[in-house]
Every structure is written in structure tokens, then in C-alpha cells.
Copies of this chain bind each other. A is one copy, B any other.
């Protein structure tokens, strides 16, 4: 290369290539470390000064890389303590990934009741959505979610069994936290992004019975794909929401007020 920043001796213990911006490369490396489980959710990554030494770059470059991961909610900074891999605590779930609220705007934590848990083969739609081959193994889970004591949502979940080795109904039911927290704490799968498609449907007899609404009532259907690092799909979820008592809330372009 024809130019060189005033960095006399690279001498990095973690080598970086030339070309791509250094901050981006550092960001990728940190993300890889998290995806590989080098640092687990809730744990601290090395300090910024240490990372600067490790990568042989200025601390400002490290900060820029970390800034990106913090904005993405993959990392959390705590002044005076360190920088930690984000954990799916209930708060994060609520405000980042759970968008169903009461018609009056009240938010509450969902109470989950599992109706069914079984192993199956992927059908064509599952396979296409999850990026796996048809007939690969999937885990199917059916839940009812209640909000504020009222049945609100019927969920059908499909998971690629390969990513959740050893997941049994017993383990699933014994979790002491959110479902996403289980994915993360037991399988190191950190949901970073979701893609949702919403439409309106009429409640079938079965749906109406489970949710306690009238047959033919207007229902909100949400088809959602959840992704982890490298945009790998990890969960397909179809939710049917009692639209008479609940609604879906979405804010676009949120940022610090000015």
C-alpha cells in the first residue's frame, strides 16, 4: 500500500487486514467473538484500552467500533465498570421486540402458557423462511400469551432443531425468564433483528376458542422471523392477536429528542 497512518509498528496480537476501515474490522471481530461464545451474554469484553493494545489501533477507533455494536444493542456500556455483551432481560424484550399493547396503550409483561411442544420436519414454507433444507428437523411450540390477565396472543413457533440441541419440553417449561433469554443463555443465540409482516384475518373456530373471542372476529396476524449474528434466521413465529382488546405499536425514526 502507498500510504500509512502514523502507526510505527503494527505489532498486533490480533491482525487486521488493510483496505476496509479499521473500526469496521474491529466491529466484525468483536461480533465474531460474541457469535462464537468467546464472551457470553452478561460478561464483559476487554477494556477499550486493552482492545486498543490487542488490535494495535488507537482507542478512538475501538470506541467507534463499540459504538456501532452498542447502537445495535449487541453490547452495553457501563461507565466505570466495563462493556458487556447484551443480555435479553425482560426490559430489553419489552421495549425492543414485543410490540403488542392494550387498546388503551397499557404495556404489561406477557404470561406464557405452553399448549404444545413437539419435534417435526420442516415443510416448504418453514424451510424457505429459516434457510434450511426441507425435511430438516424443527421444533414446534404453541403458546398462549396473556397480558394483564387476559388471553391476547396465540403463538406458533418453529425453530431449526440443529441450533437448539437437546432442547426438550421440560427444559423449555423450566425456564425462569423470557423465551429469548433461554435461546441466549443456553444456546448463545442472541436475537438482534426481527422482520415482521402483519395482516388482518378472521378468527377461525379454534383460534376463537383458545383466545376467548367470537368466531370470525377481526384478528391481527404477525408473521415474524428473528435473526442473530450474520443475519442467520433462528426463529419463525406466527402470532394471532385479539385485535378487539389489543393493538400493535410501532415507532419509526426514534432518536434522542432535539
Contacts and interface: CB of A to CB of B under 8 A. Distances in A.
Contacts of A243: 199-201
Contact of A231 (B201, B202, B252, B257): B257
B195 A72 contact: no
A253 interface: yes
Contact of A252 (B28, B68, B96): B96
B248 A199 contact: yes
Interface in A6-45: 27-28, 31
A96 B250 CA distance: 13
B68 A251 contact: no
Nearest to A223: B247
Nearest to A195: B251
A73 interface: yes
A257 B24 CA distance: 10
Contacts of A251: 193-196
A71 interface: yes
Interface in A185-213: 192-202
Interface in A40-90: 68-69, 71-74
Nearest to A194: B252
A24 to B, nearest CB: 8
Contacts of A255: 68, 71-72, 192-193
Contacts of A28: 258
A112 interface: no
Contacts of A195: 249-252
Task: Identify the 7 closest CB pairs spanning chains A and B, nearest first.
Answer: A200-B200, A200-B218, A31-B258, A200-B243, A72-B255, A198-B248, A193-B253
Interface of A: 27-28, 31, 68-69, 71-74, 96-97, 103, 192-202, 218-220, 229-231, 241, 243, 246-258
13 contacts: A72-B255, A192-B253, A192-B255, A193-B251, A194-B251, A194-B252, A195-B250, A196-B252, A198-B198, A200-B200, A200-B218, A231-B257, A250-B250
